[in-house]
Chains A and B, each alone.
Chain A
Amino acid sequence: MTATMLGVMIVLLLLGFPMMVPLIAGSFVAFFVYMPIPPEIMVQQMIAGIRPSALVAVPMFILAADIITKGHSADRLIDLVMRFVGHLRGGLGVTAATSCALFGAVSGSTQATVVAIGSPLRPRMLEAGYKDSFTLALIVNASDIAMLIPPSIAMIIYGVISGTSISELFIAGVGPGLLILVLFSVYCVIYAKRHDIPVLERASWAERIDAVKGALWPLGFPVIVVGGIYGGIFSPTEAASVCVVYAVILEFVIFRSLKLAELVEIAKSTGLITAVVFILVAAGAAFSWAISFNQIPQQILGALGLADAGPVMVLVAISVAFFIGCMFVDPIVVILVLTPIFAPLVSGAGIDPVLVGVIITLQVAIGSATPPFGCDIFTAIAVFRRPYVDVVRGTPPFVAMLVGVSAALIFFPQIALFLRDLAFR
């Protein structure tokens, strides 16, 4: 029955149905065929799925990102980085990766990062001679870093569901995030050397100081978010809304780059993206509830014989399950479905839930950039108007590096836990 259900879902997915339909169809089967339950509960669970107040951060970060991309802040931040590394071989690629990490520090969302960093940087990379397939793959995959560097929607959701401290998760994500940034940067340099990409002229210190001056206001974003959260002024969720207000002040009052009518337009488009993502969260929540109610995960895990598995085996199982899950389903949905299922195994094996959270976040980040389903891929399709295959063509080397980092995390947990222990233990 479970196989039939998943089969139906995959067929609907591959035929090009809106993503919500396979999830709804799976729920129909689980609710009404598997074990008849009053139908109202399906809708109750959909609405319960979008109730966690941490989800408010999603529209807020998308809104903030959209405002600063349409305005001047994003451009100025990119200029700043380029003045310092643009003259180096692969500097533009490294700039893209670094910008994603920087933007990750203000946005919690990989999609927002694709929009905010990809929109201004892609034309510059194409101009410089990078291939579009490399450029798109770099933007889509480097956006993964946004999820590991705080704040992070994936970590907020994992923290809420598993009852793990969100602040510890945030700190633990920094190490792996920086490791990925380093790997991607090295790859960009190698790629630029092999393809003989010309470098920009080295910026003078006067130009660099100019760029710093130009980016002073936008540099307030990381200052406000980090200072506000770590200074105890607001919660990570509220930080997103504070970013919106700061973005509005910058672009509408200080830079005067946007008009009020544009704010309405941006808010509308934010609402649209929010709805498109949240209806999948809702449908996924109903599906996961039905699975939980029918005790299917227990059956599958029982069949796998993982009950007494050691920490490494459990972490490998978690990585593989989340990787496969994220290949097909929206990453947020995968966290909602799988986290509670693995919770007993995690506590049974005595694994630090913060490490699990980081590993899950990494898998989810990889998944959001990996075919067939990947919300970043879809965002890129929408923003850059390129067909599906163009967007995914260059991804394999990046995915390979990310999988390598996952393996490293399992065997060297200190990559994630070092900073956490330093701060909290």
Chain B
Amino acid sequence: MAENGSQDHTAIPAQGWLRPLAALDGLIARLEAAVLAAGVILMAVLSVANVIGRFVFGQSIFFAEELNQFLVVLITFFGIGYAARQGRHIRMTAFYDAMPDRARKWLMVVIALITAAAMFVLAWYALAYVQSVLDTGRVAPALRVPVWVTLVWAPVGFVVTGIQYVMTAVVNLTRPEVYVSSSVIDSYDDSPTEV
């Protein structure tokens, strides 16, 4: 859960042929952060505009509910990748914390690989789901946009999250410290942190 001031950074060493990959990873991190912030702020603005519209102007924003639902999906699926990158996914660490470093490291590799596998399987199912919605040609009643456009962020989010967990396994195998995510070392320090 530590951030260690390393947010938005990538675990890929920015050298040689990996450089474009590192740049891409950094770009994705920034995009995720931007979507999270914009999504949350837009949600607040939209709800309050709806209140003002209804109360002051007697006119509700008829698409507010649909757009908010879309934003929730967007935030959730952009956020899970970002949370994986920051090592922020909620875990029950009582037993894990009690283990020695070496055991924690190997356990983390196993956890990361199994989690990555689960994410990739879900990405596959999510793609199948989006495809089935695409086939029906369903259109959101108020926003009048194809419904699949609002759902396609699910497979994307699962793939990005899966990749983050693969990278977590890789950094644990290639570096001496225990990593809870591709960019965060597993330790408690005394500096206060954001939540």
Contacts and interface: CB of A to CB of B under 8 A. Distances in A.
Whether A and B touch (Cβ < 8 Å) is answered with yes
Interface of A: 13-21, 24-25, 28, 39-44, 46-47, 50-51, 53, 55-56, 59-60, 63, 66, 115, 119, 233-234, 237-238, 240-242, 244-245, 263-265, 267-280, 282, 330, 371-373, 375, 378-379, 381-389
Interface in B74-111: 75-80, 82-83, 86, 88-97, 107, 111
Nearest first, the 3 closest Cβ-Cβ pairs linking A and B are A275-B79, A271-B36, A16-B96
A183 B90 CA distance: 31
A385 B2 contact: yes
Q: Is the interface of B mostly helix, strand, loop or mixed?
A: helix
30 contacts: A13-B92, A15-B96, A15-B111, A17-B114, A17-B115, A19-B92, A50-B72, A53-B68, A59-B40, A119-B192, A238-B47, A241-B44, A241-B47, A245-B44, A263-B41, A267-B38, A270-B40, A271-B39, A271-B75, A272-B86, A275-B78, A276-B88, A278-B76, A279-B76, A279-B79, A279-B83, A382-B193, A383-B192, A383-B193, A389-B97
A44 B80 CA distance: 17
A21 B37 contact: no
A418 to B, nearest CB: 32
Contacts of A234: 51, 55
Contacts of B1: 378, 381-382
Contacts of A268: 33, 36-37, 40
A267 B50 contact: no
Contact of B48 (A41, A241, A280, A382): A241
A271 B37 contact: yes
Contacts of B93: 16, 388
Interface of B: 1-2, 33, 35-41, 43-44, 46-48, 50-51, 55, 65, 68-69, 72-73, 75-80, 82-83, 86, 88-97, 107, 111, 114-115, 118, 121-122, 124-126, 128-129, 132, 151, 154, 188-195
A43 B192 CA distance: 37
Interface of A, helix, strand, loop or mixed by DSSP: helix
Contact of A115 (B36, B88, B118, B195): B195
A279 B122 contact: no
Contacts of B132: 40
A219 B46 CA distance: 25
